[in-house]
Amino acid sequence: MLDTSHPSLNFWTIDTRNYPRIGNIHRHHPALDRLIPHNAAIEVLAGGFYWTEGPIWVRDGEYLLFSDIPRNATLRWKEGEGVSIFLQPSGYTGPGNYGKEPGANGMTLDARGQLVCCEHGDRRLSVLTQGGGKRTLTDSYQGRRFNSPNDCVYKSNGDLYFTDPAYGLPEQFEDPRRELDFCGVYRYGRDGVTTLLTAELSRPNGLAFSPDERILYVSNSDPERAVWMQYSVQPNGTIADGRVFYDATPNVSALPGLPDGFKLDIEGNIFATGPGGVYVFNPSGELLGRLETGEATSNCAWGDDGSSLFICSDMYLLRIRTSTRGQLC
């Protein structure tokens, strides 16, 4: 049964392979040509959403899941079928309304292919079990509830890393329901223990590992310090030596959006949503180019055979075909 306490689901889909195009590709460095072909275009797959987020490709079924956070819904897109409701409510299951962003945000798949969600409203990380309902993985640190888990990524050993800003609370950073006076980056270990990795970022958001898992990248979606950080991953799974990978603060006033979700390709190039669209960096932090959507852009994910980059950008679900490949879950 649909949750009618949140905005109605009046999205639109395009069930054709002749998708409209949006934005443009800004090429800063010739090396981008090896990753993004010259005839590539940003395709509009569907629209009419409130705020899209958290895309994840499901290989078993060949479809994409993504969030519409204000509508408290997880949606499903499949080639030739368009968009349908996968799960609603997705993040807040209590009575009445819960602010402007109650739904699930970032999502990933565990080793069994089960959907793991960062839930704003219920302030937890959950897993949608096979043949059953949701189970809470973690919802607190040292007895205090999280703010609103935002994005998550698995390390190959099964540890789950995630961020916890306050965007999902009804009054966000000034909400009286806050029980933690910081925004953390955490690890939920295979042993069931939640460990705080760092509290140094004002608004930690997206995160991802380098292909060799020696570096953890984390975005900070603070307009006063709009940066991507990189940390050395220690043998025990903690992180150290935090340093700025790229600073986009000068672009915030001129371009829509902030550093948000991102993914890496198999060579370690970073495709990161930020002011103006999706930034493409090489592993050294050199900006190769930007996929300019014209909208505030929240997250992206590899799909199809690993060479398609799906992009969540404000009201749109987008896609661009690349010459590189990313790791599928």
Residue 259, token pair as written in the block: 């550093």
Give the H or E element holding residue 187.
Answer: strand 184-188
- What is the domain range of residue 317? 12-321
Is 329 within the bounds of a domain?
A: no
Q: What is the pLDDT of residues 142-166, one digit of tens each?
A: 999 999 999 999 999 999 999 999 9
Bridge partners (DSSP) listed for residue 73: 68
Is 189 within the bounds of a domain?
A: yes
Q: What is the pLDDT of residues 227-246, one digit of tens each?
A: 999 999 999 999 999 999 99
CB within 8 A of 255, min separation 6: which ones?
Answer: 275, 276, 277
Instruction: Give 65: exposed, middle or buried? Use CB within 10 Å, 0-12, 13-18, 19+.
Output: buried
The single-letter DSSP state of residue 211 is T
Is 133 within the bounds of a domain?
A: yes
Got the DSSP string for 284-324? Answer: TS-EEEEEE-SS-EEEEEEETTTTEEEEEETTEEEEEE-SS
Q: What is the pLDDT of residues 30-55, one digit of tens each?
A: 999 999 999 999 999 999 999 999 99
- pTM, full prediction: 0.95
pLDDT higher than 50, residue 82: yes
Q: What is the pLDDT of residues 190-214, one digit of tens each?
A: 999 999 999 999 999 999 999 999 9
Is 289 within the bounds of a domain?
A: yes
Is 42 within the bounds of a domain?
A: yes
Got the DSSP string for 226-258? Answer: EEEEEEEEPTTS-EEEEEEEEE-GGGTTTSS--
Tally of domains in the chain: 1
pLDDT higher than 50, residue 18: yes
Is 6 within the bounds of a domain?
A: no
Residue type (1 letter), 279 = Y
Is 2 within the bounds of a domain?
A: no
Is 45 within the bounds of a domain?
A: yes
Cα 227 to Cα 104, 120, 195, 243, 269: the distances in Å are 24, 23, 23, 10, 17
User: Domain of 66: which CATH number?
Assistant: 2.120.10.30
